[in-house]
Amino acid sequence: MEVCIYRAYEEMSRAAAQLVADVLNAKPNAVLGMATGSTPLGVYQELVKLHQKGEVDFSHVTTFNLDEYVGLPITHEQSYHHFMHENFFRHVNIPPQNIHIPSGTTTNYRAFCEWYEKRIVECGGIDIQILGIGSDGHIAFNEPTSSLSSRTRLKTLAKQTIDDNARFFDKPEDVPIYAITMGVGTIMESKRIVLLANGAKKDQAVAAAVEGPVTSMITASALQMHPSTKMFLDEPAAGKLKMREYYDWIQYHKPGAPRV
């Protein structure tokens, strides 16, 4: 894992957006893995700005979202369909038929999950996957004890996640209990991964994911086994990392690294 620590959320978001834009500029028909939650909002805003300046084009891009709540219609304000449309898709030029978000209202979840997995493969696999991290160390909705080789499936949310997400709903009892989510195994097949985390509320999850043992108790720790994951952190989210000096030292020396 490469760990990059930024002074502020805005700087972290700009750097991560630039990496995504570089991937899209090198491969205009790239497959982009999208995440929801408050953390990637800054990256989406930056990508929209780059698009408006003509510095990145999405007209050949295909996207796959990580997850969706079960039972929320796509028009519900807290559905991930709505979130993605409002915060990203309506501001860029991705052809609507290239956008994939798990269905939270299908009548056959098993068949839908199989189709979603197959569709990712048909599109050539995910070139770069954006991830946030839950305060319990989850990625997408892969809650503690999720198999590290899990695939897209229906998942029961942990109490901690329901409590964390209650802030977005009128009443805590409105938070859905189930979600459909890409599995850890699905995510691990992405060619590159960008994990974003900001704020002190993520410091423990980040430290466990980066420096703890690989364990299904912290599904983000599986990324230690991924060949190309970059963590974009702000200072508070990096607050509990023991190897902080080492990460800074590497970043400091990187620009002058010998070209091989």
Q: How many residues does the chain have?
A: 260
Judged by CB under 6 A, the residue of 33, 102, 104, 134 near ligand GLP is 134
Judged by CB under 6 A, the residue of 23, 32, 140, 210 near ligand GLP is 140
Q: Is 38 in the site for ligand GLP (CB under 6 A)?
A: yes
Cα dihedral 59, 64, 67, 69 sign = positive
The DSSP-derived string for 85-139 is HHHTGGGS---GGGEE---SS-S-HHHHHHHHHHHHHHTT--SEEEE---TTS-B
Residue among 67, 68, 117, 127 flagged as catalytic: 67
The verdict on whether 143 is a catalytic residue reads yes
Residue among 46, 100, 138, 234 flagged as catalytic: 138
Contact 172, 166 (CB under 8 A): yes
Q: Is 59 in the site for ligand GLP (CB under 6 A)?
A: no
Judged by CB under 6 A, the residue of 3, 9, 20, 36 near ligand GLP is 36
Closest CA to 112 of 148, 156, 151, 62: 151
Compare residues 66 and 223 and give the one whose CB is closer to ligand GLP.
66
The DSSP-derived string for 33-72 is EE--SSTTHHHHHHHHHHHHTTS---TT-EEEESEEETT-
The verdict on whether 127 is a catalytic residue reads no
Residue among 68, 143, 203, 234 flagged as catalytic: 143
Q: How far apart are CB 66 and ligand GLP at their closest, in Å?
A: 6
Contact 233, 204 (CB under 8 A): no
Q: Is 128 in the site for ligand GLP (CB under 6 A)?
A: no
Contact 57, 92 (CB under 8 A): no
The verdict on whether 138 is a catalytic residue reads yes
Compare residues 58 and 80 and give the one whose CB is closer to ligand GLP.
80
Compare residues 56 and 180 and give the one whose CB is closer to ligand GLP.
180
* 156 backbone dihedrals φ, ψ, rounded to 5°: -85, 130
DSSP 215: B
DSSP 172: G
Q: Is 137 in the site for ligand GLP (CB under 6 A)?
A: no
Cα–Cα distance for residue pair 251/132, rounded to 1 Å: 22
Q: Is 141 in the site for ligand GLP (CB under 6 A)?
A: yes
Site string for ligand GLP, 199-238 (x = CB under 6 A): ----------------------------------------
Q: How far apart are CB 7 and ligand GLP at their closest, in Å?
A: 19
CA distances from 212 to 44, 204, 208 (A): 30, 10, 4
Residue among 68, 127, 136, 203 flagged as catalytic: 136
Compare residues 30 and 187 and give the one whose CB is closer to ligand GLP.
187
Instruction: Summarize as ranges the residues that interact with ligand GLP (CB under 6 A).
Output: 35-39, 66-67, 132-134, 140-141, 161
Catalytic residue positions, numbered: 67, 136, 138, 143
